[in-house]
Chains A and B, each alone.
Chain A
């Protein structure tokens, strides 16, 4: 199911520490259009909690957090 969704933008923030990945995600969010799907690759453990919290608080949609080999991927949809 998850593989069917193709992100409009992929942010590769692997190796970047808190708050780097979250900041890059917000930057991508600001540049995106409503309806766009953004994927963030990260290795930072703080972001795994911070990014979903931001997505919910800002009223956007968290599509999922997927464990990949050696990193994880957070997928969100810009709702507003």
Chain B
């Protein structure tokens, strides 16, 4: 009986199997350097391509980069500092999509939720309206951990 129901569901609702067993990925963005924000955004895209729901918790220097109009002012993390100019020039020449656009595109395709960290937002007096509309909400650490607890993988970028 249950088998029948599942078969009927699969037949009439395409992609049902993806929805029935939706897997979840949680990402934690803390660093505000361009390389890490780019890597995280690409991994989020990989998540939605695999039919996963993606929750991203954004704090500290990463959150500063989610302020409206800030997304392009990226620096590289220290390992990449030496090559920063060279890689930036190549990325400009090859018209690599800005990381926030990669994230926006992932959001259009799948279920991606972006949460600002309440602690850092309070500390720096950052209001939700000052953040790019890509940010869904500002939540506390307990809520983030509860999302991470129920997800299949959590990555600290």
Chain A residues with CB under 8 Å of chain B are 15-20, 22-23, 26-27, 30, 34, 50, 54, 57-59, 80
Contact = CB atoms under 8 A, between A and B. Distances in A.
Interface residues of B, number: 20
Nearest to A17: B96
Given A27-B109, A59-B17, 7 more contacts: A15-B94, A19-B42, A19-B45, A22-B45, A23-B102, A34-B14, A80-B15
Contacts of B18: 58
Interface string B102-144: 1001101100000000000000000000000000000000000
Interface in B46-76: 46, 48-51
Nearest to B13: A80
A78 B50 CA distance: 17
- Where chain B touches its partner, the secondary structure class is helix
B87 interface: no
B14 A23 contact: no
B92 interface: no
Contacts of A80: 14-15
A78 to B, nearest CB: 9
B109 A23 contact: yes
Q: Which residue among B45, B51, B94, B106 has the maximum number of chain A CB atoms within 10 Å of its CB?
A: B45
